[in-house]
Structure 1
Amino acid sequence: MQKFRNIAAFSTIPSYFTLDPNQISARNPHKAQNFLRGKWIDSHKYQTIIDPLNGEPFITVPDVQDKQELQKFIDSAKECPISGLHNPLKNPQRYQLYGEVCHKIAAELKKKEVHDFLVRLIQRVVPKHFAQASGEVVVTERFFQNFSGDQPRFLTRSFNVAGDRPGQQSSGYRWPFGSCAVVAPFNFPLEIPSLQIFGALITGNKVFFKGDSRVNVVMEQMLRLALHCGLPATDVDMLFGNGEATEFILKQGNFRNTQFTGSSKVAEHLTKVLNGKIRIEDAGFDWKILGPDVPDVDTQNYVAWQSDQDAYGSTGQKCSAQSILFVHENWVKAGFLDKIKQLASTRKLQDLSNGPIITWNNTQIKQHIDNILKIPQSKVLFGGQELKNHTIPSIYGAFEPTALYVPLDQIQKNKAVTTELFGPFQIVTTYSSDQINQVLDVINNLENHLTAGIVSNDVNFLRHVQSNTTNGVTYSGIRARTNWCSPKSLVWTMWRSKRSRYRHS
């Protein structure tokens, strides 16, 4: 039995929820449902989800494969006009409606019993430390706070430009796509889909949602909360199903935009299948550089703590997790490597500061480590061993937080070094001031450029690195991190600009 932060059995669970996260088990499994055209529906076929901490079957979810059942989701998507359910010129009162819905959802999420319910449910399906799971709920609550009241209207603010002659002007509108799809990953089962789905709904789209079946029970319960708060029931459909079923719907549903978050391999496949009508947030082999300026001891300790969080928070299962760390020799002399080793040693399964690795098993992880250790002068800095005395099923990984040292001049010679291991794992290398351009060469040859951190207050160093690299998000300064991306980036993908030229006689 694992030990968790004390969230006692809930004395009051809101009536719109349909399970108790403390009680679901092999003896008391939860049966999830799909949501279509405003109704919760069962399926002819179900899939069993096992508890990632002990391997017991504890949730059954629909496994829709029958094309007649899938066709119902396609038909529902096609019912939405290309002008959306609302836009600045059609049904504008729905902006106010969504402002009120977001206000009510934020108020619910602020309640302790709702917050704790969602934290515990997240921990059951993708085990992570209380602070990590709680942060996910809090960020989601603040998103709904931000888009309460008049904010949906302000989000889609229009603009006007003077025309070429009297009586003429150009007006730009934030226009919905119409029917959209959101495909979300396992690692943030509440935050990512909530922000993306409601970013689409607020701006007038109808949404088809498909989450990872292993964790999608979280969004099943979140959708029940949203419906309780006044979400129009026919604005969103939700499917539990496999990749083949999802692809069938995406291809036949004629969605004008699909928001995909997940692996780069699947992202590239869907880009071809959907003819480019897709927005992607995929893999990131994220880097951090410690510059030549070493601050006082307290700040060094903070930088070490942040580095530990970036690499190993949520068991390293973040798209923005620190994958490679470039440590200036001045930091090495100051004992930085010893600091991060000590911090990593405090992570344990008992409090979920380290946990199951969902997409890599131990055999795959061990093989990856062995491949890197074949590189000349590479070595294990810390970790590198399987966890002991646990009940995590073998389909998942269970490994110590790990750091491997690879010499700077060897990194580009072996592709395994820059292959993302989605777990508690990072590459560490060292460099001197006269090697900074070699560091930049390594960085600029990485395949994915998602997030990065430049830990320095040296203005010239910051300017040199910033001006010679490209990333989705770069954090700069002595307290720089690699995660997290702005929630706004999860919203802005679900509208398009529409410019209309009005001519008046």
Structure 2
Amino acid sequence: MQTHEKTFRVRNFIGGRWEEHDGLSAEPVYDPATGRVIAETPLSTREEVDRAVRAAEEAFPRWAATPVVERARLLFRFKMLLEERFEELRDLVTLENGKDAKDAAGEVRRGIEVVEFACGMPTLLMGETVRDVARGIDNVSWRYPLGVVAAIAPFNFPCMIPLWTLPVAIGAGNTYILKPSERTPLCSQRLGELLIEAGLPEGVFNIVNGARDAVNGILEHPGIKAVSFVGSKPVAEHVYRTGCAHGKRVQALAGAKNSMIVMPDAVLEKAVPNIISSAYGNAGERCLAGSVLVAVGSGEEQDRLVRKVREAAASLKVGPGYEEESELTPLIRDSHRERVKSYIDLGEEEGAEVVLDGREPPRGGGFFMGPTILDRVTGEMRVAREEIFGPVLSVVRVRTLDEAIEFTNASPFGNACSIYTESGAAVRHWRERIEAGMLGVNVGVAAPMAFFPFNGIKDSFYGDLHATGKDGVRFFTENKVEISRFFSDPDDVMPAVAYPEEAGA
């Protein structure tokens, strides 16, 4: 279904009420495939953040006291509604982000999987116990919600990333404020509508749209206990430093520069399509994109790999996500397209060989860009070290696996790394030495399932507890550890009762 002709109204949702944005400035929301304005995002101020916090604070005591099984039942209803509206959510992702229907469907599915995980909150909130840690003394721990928490989401996964935190946070008993990307606010609004339909009480979930002022209002507000963020490295660092300076618990998922290491024994017929999907899926606008191809082996083996990857990339069908045959979809904004072009120019200036050039838009309208391959990139080049976030694949040539590991580990980022090989020994050698938090073996997008943490390291993550999995539950809860004993004998507090038969009645 093509939903790209519709215009949407974007509103804040505070204390159970949708609010018009009269008096607020706004930013246009584009359909990346056409460049048409489809909505306007209100740019909220600290005042809107403060009202959302007060509404969430008011709702917190009652929601935190709601039995966890009742909260889980609401999440089951929410999950059912997400399934019923699956295609609608998929089309919204395609409309506001631009990705194709297959990728958009995958995003919605991965978000729903986090809801499924959070439906197990009665088990996930179980504490720990040890009896008789000393004579007559028991030790137990209990998990409690933090209070008001917030999430700041990026543009590239407008449905999935809000669902990374939303079900876990509210399932654990917190009240929640979502700041969607000002570029892609539509999915977040629809999620709010479905939560209302599922029966979520007023104030438990709030949306504050906006940009810099809203973000800083969240980071500096004393009523917010924890902030989860996903975005670029500079902003992640700002979020982490500012949030922590204001006494908050912060998880900030940042940028990436992920290597895909291809060994000489890789099964190229299977590996190459996987490499193409990783590098060019969602136009390269994802933090798990394989943006550096590290070719291991002889010059002849490297030439063969580059030739096959180039042939596959050059054959990609560039087009809007709502056309079934499209394989390379548009970038999010024209300004971002210009930024990606500038990196291709830079790579050429640095000495890389442009073996496939996508700088000339392959079709009119929208923010399209063709697939690009920069060959013979070296570790000193910026295109080897900096996140481009577009359909650009840099090829680095090395002789050995150890050289590939050394190149990869020199990156300040540590989000993900993949290896293509049939050698178990090579995989083990690589796994033990590589500095990345998510690893793929013949898998180009090493995305963990919802019950595992999204585990970036180094400059790809600021914080201690990652998003999703048990880390996500720990992030949104606090432990209380209790040690107890009792001095009285049972008979002292529960004296014997003379029953009638004992009294001879």
Q: TM-score, normalised by structure 1?
A: 0.84
C-alpha distance 283-496 of structure 1, shift in aligned 2 (>3 A):
farther
Q: Which residue of 2 aligns with 1:178?
A: 147
The 2-side partners of 1:334 and 1:116 are apart by 42
SS in 2 for 1:256: strand
Q: Which amino acid aligns with 1:482?
A: V
Tell me if structure 2 keeps the 8 A contact 1:101–1:229.
yes
Q: CA deviation at 1:162?
A: 3.5
Q: CA deviation at 1:317?
A: 0.8
Q: Which residue of 2 aligns with 1:482?
A: 445
| Superposition map of 1:2-13 within 5 A | 7=1
Q: Which residue of 1 aligns with 2:16?
A: 38
Q: Which amino acid aligns with 1:427?
A: S
Q: Which moved more, 1:306-315 or 1:241-250?
A: 241-250
Q: Which amino acid aligns with 1:57?
A: V
Q: CA deviation at 1:253?
A: 3.7
- Paired residue for 1:312, among 255, 260, 280? 280
C-alpha distance 294-245 of structure 1, shift in aligned 2 (>3 A):
closer
Gaps of 5+ in 2: 454-466, 488-505
Q: Which amino acid aligns with 1:428?
A: V
Q: Which amino acid aligns with 1:461?
A: A
Q: CA deviation at 1:333?
A: 5.9
Larger radius of gyration: 2
The 2-side partners of 1:342 and 1:416 are apart by 22
The 1-side partners of 2:275 and 2:219 are apart by 39
The 1-side partners of 2:88 and 2:404 are apart by 45
SS in 2 for 1:180: strand
Tell me if structure 2 keeps the 8 A contact 1:84–1:176.
no
The 2-side partners of 1:440 and 1:273 are apart by 34
1:258 has 2:206 as partner: no
Q: Which residue of 1 aligns with 2:187?
A: 218
Q: Which amino acid aligns with 1:328?
A: V
Q: Which residue of 2 aligns with 1:133?
A: 104
Q: Which residue of 2 aligns with 1:498?
A: 480
- Paired residue for 2:370, among 388, 391, 400? 400
Q: Which moved more, 1:48-57 or 1:275-284?
A: 48-57
Q: Which residue of 2 aligns with 1:421?
A: 388
Q: Which moved more, 1:463-472 or 1:486-495?
A: 486-495
Q: Which residue of 2 aligns with 1:447?
A: 412
The 2-side partners of 1:226 and 1:123 are apart by 22
C-alpha distance 249-281 of structure 1, shift in aligned 2 (>3 A):
closer
The 2-side partners of 1:224 and 1:242 are apart by 22
Q: Which amino acid aligns with 1:475?
A: G
Q: Which moved more, 1:36-45 or 1:361-370?
A: 361-370
The 1-side partners of 2:444 and 2:62 are apart by 38
Q: Which residue of 2 aligns with 1:456?
A: 421
Q: Which moved more, 1:244-253 or 1:308-317?
A: 244-253
Q: Which amino acid aligns with 1:74?
A: V
1:109 has 2:85 as partner: no
Tell me if structure 2 keeps the 8 A contact 1:288–1:482.
no
The 2-side partners of 1:354 and 1:501 are apart by 59
Tell me if structure 1 keeps the 8 A contact 2:90–2:101.
yes
The 2-side partners of 1:53 and 1:456 are apart by 37
Q: State the Cα deviation string for residues 243-290 of structure 1 (Å, max 9, x = none).
A: 123212330243221101111101111222112631011111111111
Tell me if structure 2 keeps the 8 A contact 1:84–1:204.
no
C-alpha distance 448-294 of structure 1, shift in aligned 2 (>3 A):
closer
The 1-side partners of 2:390 and 2:437 are apart by 21
SS in 1 for 2:413: coil
Q: Which moved more, 1:179-188 or 1:479-488?
A: 479-488
Q: State the Cα deviation string for residues 152-194 of structure 1 (Å, max 9, x = none).
A: 1012121112443232122123332221111110111111102
The 1-side partners of 2:307 and 2:427 are apart by 25
| Superposition map of 1:202-351 within 5 A | 202-275=171-244, 277-295=249-267, 300-329=268-297, 332=301, 335-344=304-313, 345-350=315-320, 351=323
Q: State the Cα deviation string for residues 479-501 of structure 1 (Å, max 9, x = none).
A: 23233233232331323433222
Q: Which residue of 1 aligns with 2:129?
A: 160
Q: State the Cα deviation string for residues 382-428 of structure 1 (Å, max 9, x = none).
A: 23322133112xxxx53211111134xx31x2334211111111211
C-alpha distance 294-263 of structure 1, shift in aligned 2 (>3 A):
closer
Q: State the Cα deviation string for residues 206-244 of structure 1 (Å, max 9, x = none).
A: 111101022111110111012101222321111111212
Q: Which amino acid aligns with 1:503?
A: R
The aligned length equals 456
C-alpha distance 401-174 of structure 1, shift in aligned 2 (>3 A):
farther
SS in 2 for 1:274: helix
Q: State the Cα deviation string for residues 421-474 of structure 1 (Å, max 9, x = none).
A: 1111121122223xx333222211211101111222322222221111222211
The 1-side partners of 2:303 and 2:363 are apart by 35
Q: Which amino acid aligns with 2:151?
A: V
The 2-side partners of 1:159 and 1:375 are apart by 57
C-alpha distance 496-305 of structure 1, shift in aligned 2 (>3 A):
farther
SS in 1 for 2:331: coil
SS in 1 for 2:388: coil
C-alpha distance 159-43 of structure 1, shift in aligned 2 (>3 A):
same
Q: Which residue of 1 aligns with 2:464?
A: none
SS in 1 for 2:158: coil
Tell me if structure 2 keeps the 8 A contact 1:325–1:429.
yes
Q: CA deviation at 1:364?
A: 2.4
Q: CA deviation at 1:79?
A: 3.9
The 2-side partners of 1:70 and 1:141 are apart by 27
Q: Which residue of 1 aligns with 2:55?
A: 76
Tell me if structure 2 keeps the 8 A contact 1:181–1:250.
no
Q: Which moved more, 1:247-256 or 1:208-217?
A: 247-256
The 2-side partners of 1:334 and 1:366 are apart by 25
SS in 1 for 2:350: coil
Tell me if structure 2 keeps the 8 A contact 1:387–1:400.
yes
The 2-side partners of 1:356 and 1:442 are apart by 30
1:466 has 2:466 as partner: no
Tell me if structure 2 keeps the 8 A contact 1:73–1:249.
no
Q: CA deviation at 1:32?
A: 1.6
The 2-side partners of 1:447 and 1:117 are apart by 39
Q: CA deviation at 1:133?
A: 0.7
The 1-side partners of 2:100 and 2:18 are apart by 32
SS in 1 for 2:330: coil
The 2-side partners of 1:23 and 1:374 are apart by 41
The 1-side partners of 2:287 and 2:261 are apart by 18
Q: CA deviation at 1:78?
A: 4.2
SS in 2 for 1:336: helix
